[in-house]
Chains A and B, each alone.
Chain A
Amino acid sequence: MPVAGLGSRSLAWLIDAFIKSLALTALAVVLELLGEVGGGLLLISMFALFWLYNVLFEVLYHGATPGKRVLGLRVLNANGTPVGWRGSMIRNLIRFVDAFPGTYAVGCVAVLLNENFQRLGDSAAGTVVVYDVRQESRSAIEGAEPVELRTVLSLDEQQAIVSFGVRANRLNSQRAEELASLLEPVIANVDSSRLAGHASWLMSGRSSS
């Protein structure tokens, strides 16, 4: 699974911070009515939002706080299993060190230096933040009529053509033509629809022709 970088994680953090401040403001307005008791409850809520918000969401809500959910991120153990209480507690307690000195400077440097983009809390807990990808779109290749390819190509080259066929209808037409034209030296008179046909032939039609 692709690990998530600084940008999307910062955005997720911003969304969470926004949600937390909204919740706190709403609580403050309501608890204001209760006087000193309300003040005490507000402080307890602040404590809970600071320290428990992430842990509870990560453990009970598919490894994602609402901010991470919006950006399609998810916290996993480094071995790919869902994060549990231990991992989540450690990574969110160490958050205090990553947030130092109030701007997440330590955490940002740690993320940039780590091959899996783990901040210190992630490294200590053995967790990673990944994109929760689910490819639903069906291949564009199926629409293309198989076109026999008479050039001998290596497996890597064949796979590149198949990948092109899969992605072709998600590209705009100029870009598709531009990519296809790169193959002009190898395949004569190539264009994007013909290349998609080759891709279709490579994937399914080869044995029949």
Chain B
Amino acid sequence: MNQGAFESQNASTWRAYDDWIRVLSGKRTGPDAQGVSLKELATEFPAAYRKICHHLALARARRYSLELENRLNQMALEGHQHLYRSRPQLFGSILRFFSVSFPAAFRREWRCLLISALAFYGPGLAMGLAVQIQPELAFSVVDAQSIAQIETMYDPANSALGRERQSDTDVYMFGFYIYNNISIGFQTFAGGLVFGLGTLFYLCFNGLYIGTVASHLTSIEYSHTFWSFVSGHSAFELTGIVIFGGAGLMMGYAAIAPGSRSRWHAIRDRAVEGLPLVVGGTLMLVAAAFVEAFWSSTTWPSASIKYAVGGVLWLSVGLYFWLFGRHES
């Protein structure tokens, strides 16, 4: 059959198919599109799609013009995209995410999260101990200027405690924590692609930094202002960092030991499995930024109230990951 006959024989099939595509794309503007019912669409569209694929194969095998081949290819592609697209699910199941997916992923991936926690808290605790024994070591991790700046922030002699601010400043700091902390979280995750090395680097570096600062401020008797300040948001922030690290290490481990899948295939699968942790980690860091900007910085509550709130938040985070979504996972 020559191309002209092929085209005229199938023209009506193709026109009907194009109308369905228009309806599916939400463009009900075609001349015949109004007459298409949804029931007809659901029952006949897949068959029409198969027919188009068949025509495409014929056009290729019979060496019809490239233009016709491209046109059929385009039609097949559009049909394919409508039949096989994955429907967005992220926003449709927010409740399920919080009550099941996130805590379930946390428990399922406990090995990666444990390594992440060790890489973060290990260097932090080690450095904290080292600074207690040898205070000058603090300057090997944090430069003198930053230490001086941090000291003024938590100086108990400072009448305004350095942290009592106008509420305007609270909003500014909220923005800063969002921008800074969550960017670091995302980088910690992304770095996992490089065989986990980037993730480990960020975890160790931040662990060292936080451990050094905490230990230094404790040893110069600023401990009350410092610990009462950080106790509120620490549960969300530190756990959030560990969660990002765990998701990064999932990818990193897949890159090192892909098993029976191809390397990229393994990375892709693990990245998708780690996404609930990334999304959940992001939300935890948002919560941390909120607490840090609007609660931790206040001076009216006494230190013991702040410790109590910090304790309750740590307990809630622990119970949440321990208990939620158990029966369904």
**Residues of A participating in the B interface, judged by any CB pair closer than 8 Å:** 1, 35-37, 39-44, 46-47, 50-51, 59, 79-82, 84-86, 89-90, 93-97, 120, 123-126, 133-135, 139, 141, 155-156, 158-159, 162-163, 165-166, 203-207
Closest 5 CB pairs of A and B: A40-B175, A204-B4, A43-B175, A36-B168, A40-B172
The residue from A81, A134, A162 contacting B80, defined by CB atoms under 8 A apart: A81
Instruction: Establish whether residues B172 and A96, one from each chain, have CB atoms under 8 Å apart when the complex forms.
Output: no
Contacts of A81 in B (CB 8 A): 80-81, 84-86
Contacts of A89 in B (CB 8 A): 275, 278
| Main SS class of interface, B | helix
A5 to B168, CA, bound (A): 47
Contacts of B71 in A (CB 8 A): 135
B187's nearest neighbour on chain A, judged by CB, is A96
Instruction: Establish whether residues B65 and A206, one from each chain, have CB atoms under 8 Å apart when the complex forms.
Output: no
Is B47 among interface residues, defined by CB-CB distance under 8 A? no
Contacts of B178 in A (CB 8 A): 43-44, 47
A86 to B272, CA, bound (A): 7
Is B66 among interface residues, defined by CB-CB distance under 8 A? yes
Number of A-B contacts (CB under 8 A): 136
| Main SS class of interface, A | helix
A79's nearest neighbour on chain B, judged by CB, is B84
Instruction: Establish whether residues B2 and A125, one from each chain, have CB atoms under 8 Å apart when the complex forms.
Output: no
Is B171 among interface residues, defined by CB-CB distance under 8 A? yes
The residue from B63, B74, B168, B172 contacting A158, defined by CB atoms under 8 A apart: B63
Is B267 among interface residues, defined by CB-CB distance under 8 A? yes
Contacts of A162 in B (CB 8 A): 63-66
Q: A120-B193, A135-B67, A206-B2 are in contact. Are A36 and B186 (CB under 8 A)?
A: no
A35's nearest neighbour on chain B, judged by CB, is B168
B73's nearest neighbour on chain A, judged by CB, is A1
Contacts of A156 in B (CB 8 A): 63
